[in-house]
Amino acid sequence: MSEGVLPARGRGGRALSAVLPGAPQLLGGRVGAGAAALLAWTGLLWIGLTRAERVRAALSGPWDARLAAFTLLAGLVVVWAWSWWDAGRRYRPKTVAVSQWELAVRTFSRNRTAVAGLIVIGALYAIALLTPLVAPYPPNLQGNLVTERFVGLSAAHPLGTDHFARDVLSRLLYGARISLLIGFVAVAISVSVGTLLGAVAGFIGGLVDAAIMRFVDVVISFPRLVLLITIIALFEPSIFLITAVLGLTQWPSTARIVRGEVLSLREREFVQAAEALGYSKPRIILRHLIPNAMAPVIVAATLGIGNTIVLEAGLSFLGLGVQPPTPSWGTMVDAGRGNLLDAWWLSTFPGLAIVLTVLSFNLVGDGLRDALDPRLRS
Amino acid sequence: MNARSGGAPLLSVRDLRVWFDTDQGVARAVDGVSFDVLEGETLGIVGESGCGKTVTSLSLLGLLPRPPARVLDDSSIRFRGEELVGASARRLRRLRGNDIAMIFQEPMSSLNPVYPIGDQIGEALRLHRGLDRRAARQETIRLLDEVGIAGAAQRVDDHPHQLSGGMRQRVMIAMALSCAPELLIADEPTTALDVTVQAQILELLASLQAARSMAVLLITHDLGVVAEVCDRVAVMYAGQIVETGTVQEIFGDPRHPYTRGLLDSLPRVDDPGHRLKPIPGTVPPPTHWPDGCRFRDRCPLAAPPCAAPQALLDLGPEGRAARCWRAP
């Protein structure tokens, strides 16, 4: 699209971006970025304006409400500032070769399903952060147990109510926080531990390698679900325990991936060059090997988040995960199980939420795999 | 190149033996190598693939993986009089990069692909010379300029894959020079480059060496390179040095049949009709060096006395020697 036709850039673009961030980018031909910015801006603004009273109350409320209010304000500022900066920037398309990461971003952004997955994940995390402002009711607020139990889809309760007359939509939104948080933190733990141990095993080799990898074999040889159930049955189930256990049982696969990468990387001459320059082993591992081994780890981590969310839902479904009344998708599916025929909405919507989330993570993971693996690049 | 200075050698290697324990037996990759590198001079180590050149160079800095490699106890590597065989890992690491630097054969893979080149040179500067971020960046640009990279101030932020092979080797050289080492070990620095770029890199090395009065240990299989830049030459075969001398002596009056064979297998400008004479056969595997003269099986002059082990015979002053009973 030519720049002269529409006030997409320059002074006109700036003026437009001040009112409607994202609009100049949308008109300037970058539909994806423009639409995302415009949607984020209008969405956040809508929440802020329609719930101004709640935002004000949230600022002096409990920590999660304050975090939500802060997220809302920060989101507005960031979107507005980005659009303003971008509209005034002289845009020149890069023609020369770019870094590996930029190349990966290009490949990824051409993959529509993966981008869609990424947008869904972004929206899910945004909603999870904003829940105290968005949810119609507090998660554990019970209505009139006589008149408001098992109410179907209605204006007051868009996704109905459960057997305690609680609003399903609100519980679904609050449950998103638990699922996404557990998925993210557990994978962060497993990736950190796995990357470090795998890199050390691969680089040092010998006895250290043998010891670490045999330990990996031991951990992997346990059926994971049985191990989880055993550990959780031994202690009081809590979100902290579930996260820790999920994180500490998943690292072996990351360790194997990283070790394999490092085994081939350490034969490359830049590692020898780093040794010849007198760098210490920790420095070579942390600064030179791990960054080069990150691509497959990122893919595995993304897929791992989806996996962990399913596992957490499964544990909660079995009653070993998040304990009621704290809402989580797994416990909600479990709670609706008994009334599946007369109150179908109880299990259906949390189930769909799980499917949507996991599908998005898997799509993004596949997209990242295509983008980061040069062998698959056409 | 540089005039030789008198006094004690900068690097003195005596009876270096590096053996590898393999499934096929003990590979005696380096088997009794001795040489000196004087301050400011260039010593070339020449030989075919598999003769132990690279193992020699890696063992100087303790860069060989142990096991399978082991440096035998009676070996001695003295740098400025300090014994490096058996030195602590910490001491060796202090020497690497600071006093002895090394550049490698393959500039394509010698740089870390995820960082801009400036960061990589800067890392060495900050670690060894304690510069802060800004000073390191300035020094990096100065070094890139010194090794002849045009537009150094812009190139600093390039990633390795944006540079040509020759430029990458220049970056490697800048990195090696970052801490002003007294000895630069260059292991086949030009082998992976185009011929025109080779000449440029060799010229660069020569001029940097002259400007910094740094000693260079040049490992190569290319006699043309040796003739161009070296002061003295050591010819290696089957884990041993078979002949040493100045460049003039080696090229003008080769005494060992292997050296002669190497020279005969080179094309000559002054004799266009001359047929190249390759040396028949290949270097035997290091697990099975022949007894006696190790070149015997491939030597056109082999005779009964060759069945006895050959000593390195002194042929003149300043380290002129050859490992052949016919040489004197």
Q: Identify the pLDDT of residue A99.
A: 66
**How many CA atoms does the CB half-sphere of A234 hold within 13 Å?**
7
Between B276 and B57, residue with greater pLDDT: B57
Q: What is the DSSP letter of B147?
A: T
Instruction: Identify whether the C-beta of residue B208 lies closer than 8 Å to the C-beta of residue B21.
Output: no
Look at B175 and A277 and tell me if their CB atoms are within 8 Å.
yes
Q: Give the span between the Cα atoms of B242 and B294, in whole angstroms.
A: 10
Instruction: Identify whether the C-beta of residue A285 lies closer than 8 Å to the C-beta of residue A274.
Output: no
Q: Give the span between the Cα atoms of B198 and B221, in whole angstroms.
A: 14
Q: What is the DSSP letter of B306?
A: G
Q: Identify the pLDDT of residue A187.
A: 94
A353: Cβ contacts below 8 Å, ≥ 6 apart = A172, A175, A176, A179, A329
Q: Identify the pLDDT of residue B7.
A: 62
Instruction: Identify whether the C-beta of residue A334 lies closer than 8 Å to the C-beta of residue A328.
Output: no
Pairs of residues, one from chain A and one from chain B, whose beta carbons lie less than 8 Å apart = 70
Residues of A with CB below 8 A from B61's CB? 276
Give me the residue label for tokens 């719930």: A51
Q: Identify the pLDDT of residue A255.
A: 93
Task: Calculate the average pLDDT of chain B.
Answer: 83
Q: Give the span between the Cα atoms of B294 and B285, in whole angstroms.
A: 11
Secondary structure string (H, E, C) spanning chain A: CCCCCCCCCHHHHHHHHHHCCCHHHHHCCCHHHHHHHHHHHHHHHHHHHHCHHHHHHHCCCCHHHHHHHHHHHHHHHHHHHHHHHHHHCCCCCCCCCCCHHHHHHHHHHCCHHHHHHHHHHHHHHHHHHHHHHHCCCCCCCCCCCCCCCCCCCCCCCCCCECCCCCEHHHHHHHHHHHHHHHHHHHHHHHHHHHHHHHHHHHHHCHHHHHHHHHHHHHHHHCCHHHHHHHHHHHCCCCHHHHHHHHHHHHHHHHHHHHHHHHHHHCCCHHHHHHHHCCCCHHHHHHHHHCHHHHHHHHHHHHHHHHHHHHHHHHHHHCCCCCCCCCCCHHHHHHHHHHHCCCCCHHHHHHHHHHHHHHHHHHHHHHHHHHHHCHHHCC
| pLDDT tens-digit readout, B108-133 | 788 888 888 888 888 888 888 888 88
Q: Identify the pLDDT of residue A185.
A: 93
Q: Give the span between the Cα atoms of A245 and B127, in whole angstroms.
A: 39
* B254-261 CB contacts, 8 Å cutoff, 24+ apart: B255/B315, B255/B322, B255/B324, B255/B326, B255/B327, B256/B295, B256/B322, B256/B323, B256/B324, B256/B327, B257/B295, B257/B299, B257/B300, B257/B301, B257/B324, B257/B326, B258/B295, B258/B298, B258/B299, B259/B235, B259/B322, B261/B298, B261/B300
Q: What is the DSSP letter of B190?
A: T
Look at A275 and B96 and tell me if their CB atoms are within 8 Å.
yes
The helix, strand and coil proportions of chain B, stated in percent and rounded to the nearest 5, come to 35, 20, 45
Chain B contact for A268 (CB, 8 A cutoff):
yes
Among B57, B103, B112, the residue to mutate for chain A (most A Cβ within 10 A) = B112
Q: Give the span between the Cα atoms of A259 and B62, in whole angstroms.
A: 24
State the average pLDDT over residues B54-80: 84
The structural domains of chain A, with segments of one domain joined by +, span 7-91, 168-376
Instruction: Identify whether the C-beta of residue A269 lies closer than 8 Å to the C-beta of residue B109.
Output: yes
Paired tokens of B49? 């693939």
> Could you say which of A97, A100, A279 has the minimum Cβ distance to residue B113?
A100
Q: Give the span between the Cα atoms of B61 and B229, in whole angstroms.
A: 23
Q: Give buried/exposed letters for B142-159 (b at 16+ CB in 10 A, else e).
A: ebbebbbbeebeebbebb
Chain A: closest CA distance from residue B13 (Å): 19
Backbone angles phi, psi at A140, to 5 degrees: -105, 15
Give me the residue label for tokens 């609100």: A170
Using the predicted structure, report yes or no on whether residue B95 has a pLDDT greater than 80: yes
Q: Which residues pair with A163 in a beta bridge?
A: none
Look at B101 and A277 and tell me if their CB atoms are within 8 Å.
yes
Among B54, B114, B120, B184, the residue to mutate for chain A (most A Cβ within 10 A) = B114
Q: Identify the pLDDT of residue B80.
A: 86
**How many CA atoms does the CB half-sphere of B100 hold within 13 Å?**
27
| pLDDT tens-digit readout, B157-203 | 888 888 888 888 888 888 888 888 888 998 888 877 778 888 888 88
Backbone angles phi, psi at B234, to 5 degrees: -120, 125
* Nearest in space to A169 (alpha carbons), one of A125, A123, A138: A138
Rg from Cα positions in chain B: 20
Mutual orientation of helices A63-88 and A10-19 as an angle, nearest 10°?
Answer: 160
What would be the CATH architecture of the domain defined by A168-376? Answer: Orthogonal Bundle (1.10)
pLDDT in tens, chain A (378 residues): 444 444 455 566 777 877 888 888 888 777 777 888 888 888 888 888 888 888 888 788 788 888 888 888 898 899 888 888 887 776 555 555 566 677 788 888 888 899 899 989 988 888 888 888 887 877 777 777 777 777 777 777 777 787 777 888 888 988 888 888 889 999 999 999 999 999 999 998 889 999 999 999 998 888 888 888 888 888 887 888 888 888 888 899 999 999 999 998 888 888 888 888 888 889 999 988 998 888 889 888 998 998 899 988 888 888 887 887 888 888 888 888 888 888 888 888 889 999 999 999 999 998 888 888 766 554
Compute the residue count for chain A: 378
What is the ipTM, given to two decimal places? 0.79
Three-state SS at B107: coil
Instruction: Identify whether the C-beta of residue B26 lies closer than 8 Å to the C-beta of residue B3.
Output: no
Q: What is the DSSP letter of B308?
A: S
Look at B104 and A275 and tell me if their CB atoms are within 8 Å.
no
Q: What is the DSSP letter of B87?
A: -
- Total H helices, total E strands in chain B: 10, 13
Residues of B with CB below 8 A from A97's CB? 161-162
Q: Give the span between the Cα atoms of A310 and A306, in whole angstroms.
A: 6
Chain B contact for A267 (CB, 8 A cutoff):
no
Look at A100 and B111 and tell me if their CB atoms are within 8 Å.
no
> Could you say which of A100, A272, A283 has the minimum Cβ distance to residue B104?
A272
Chain A: closest CA distance from residue B299 (Å): 36
**How many CA atoms does the CB half-sphere of A299 hold within 13 Å?**
15
| pLDDT tens-digit readout, B280-294 | 777 788 888 888 888
Look at B159 and A100 and tell me if their CB atoms are within 8 Å.
yes
Residues of A with CB below 8 A from B104's CB? 269, 272-273, 276
Instruction: Identify whether the C-beta of residue A120 lies closer than 8 Å to the C-beta of residue A362.
Output: no
Q: Give the span between the Cα atoms of B323 and B325, in whole angstroms.
A: 7
Residues of A with CB below 8 A from B154's CB? none
